[in-house]
Amino acid sequence: MLDRLALDDVREALTLLGIDPPSGRTTALRTLRGAFADFGFVRQQLEQAPAPARAAFLRLLHEGPLAVEQLLGRGWWARGLLPSPLDWLQRRAFVLVDDAGRVVAVDEARQGYLGGGHERSPSVGGVATADAATARLGVEPAGAVVICQDADLLHRAVTLTSAQLRLVAPTVAVSPATPATVVRSLREANLPLTEDLQVAASSRQPALPDRVEQAVGPQAIRTLLDRAVREERQVRLDYYASSRGGAATDRVVDPWQFVDDLLTGWCHLRTAERTFALDRIGRARLLPAAITHRGTAED
């Protein structure tokens, strides 16, 4: 999207961002993209922005392209610089005006904000390298992990400043805030959450736990699946099936047996017995509901 900018616009953006602008357009664009990709750069710049400009940028991330009138409550002649405070964003290449006259967040700035950017190492021949003697693993606090297969919905969640979320993968965001704080922020923004299933107790059958438990990672998923089989409770899997070209599918399974990292049970999606390999399960959730189908695997 930055390719739409003229050289003078790119050079002005770099100057305002505190970077010496190269004279050539190709090099200047590469420098600007690199700045947006730097870890924390976009967020740091927005922290220094006028509050109305910052609020407008976050709204564009959350809602998508908007007309000036929607953002500011007043019109615009659709020529020259955007009116204040949008001009602060435009001159720094955080936003552009599309062919329909709407203000849109620049993709590179959007990704830099949502993902937090990445640590950059010196490069040789365009390939990033690092000195093995000085390389270090960075450990950061993460009080909550949010997982969502819908990239747009996850991006909307990341734009909520109260949730303090940062993308660490296309489908995963983390926050130093507590899970309760993140859930409250998401609910206040009316973002859809995985519903906790409720199970009514009866005199003939003990009540099952009324909350969904989830696991990510092989060891945690093994433990959860063992419990599901033992407690005869349904599980919900994010399963990456080879028959779907590696795309994730949502499976609710009545587990019968879990042996050698293979889960056998009744698949409610396929309405048939199926076997699921552990290494294809991205996330598993232990549901409160008891299994409704029983098979030969437990006999």
pLDDT in tens, 78-128: 677 899 899 999 999 999 998 888 899 998 998 888 765 444 444 333 334
Task: Say if residues 86 and 95 touch (Cβ distance below 8 Å).
Answer: yes
One domain, residues 10 and 104: yes
What is the count of structural domains for the chain? 3
Higher-confidence residue of 232 and 173: namely 232
Of the pLDDT bands very low, low, confident and very high (cuts 50, 70, 90), residue 270 is confident
One domain, residues 56 and 160: no
Write out the H or E segment, with its range, that includes residue 61.
helix 51-63
The pair of structure tokens assigned to 171 is: 């489908």
Of the pLDDT bands very low, low, confident and very high (cuts 50, 70, 90), residue 161 is confident
Does residue 16 carry a pLDDT above 90?
A: yes
One domain, residues 11 and 66: yes
pTM over 0.85: no
Q: Which residues of 129-148 are buried (b: 16+ CB within 10 A; e: fewer)?
A: eeeeeeeeeeeeeeebbbeb
In a domain, 277, yes or no: yes
Residue 266's CATH number: 2.30.30.180
One domain, residues 159 and 242: no
Residue-wise pLDDT for 25-82, tens only, equals 999 999 999 999 887 889 889 889 998 898 899 888 878 888 888 888 877 776 778 9
Return all residues near 291 (Cβ < 8 A) that are at least 6 apart: 232, 233, 234, 254, 255, 256, 265, 266
Q: Are strands 233-240 and 281-290 parallel, antiparallel or unpaired?
A: antiparallel
Among candidate residues 280, 227, 278, 283, the one with its CA nearest the CA of residue 255: 227
Find the domain containing 243 and state its range: 213-298
Does residue 218 carry a pLDDT above 80?
A: yes
Mean pLDDT, residues 126-149: 63
> In this structure, what DSSP letter does residue 134 have?
T
The pair of structure tokens assigned to 131 is: 């000195």
Of the pLDDT bands very low, low, confident and very high (cuts 50, 70, 90), residue 244 is low
One domain, residues 168 and 246: no
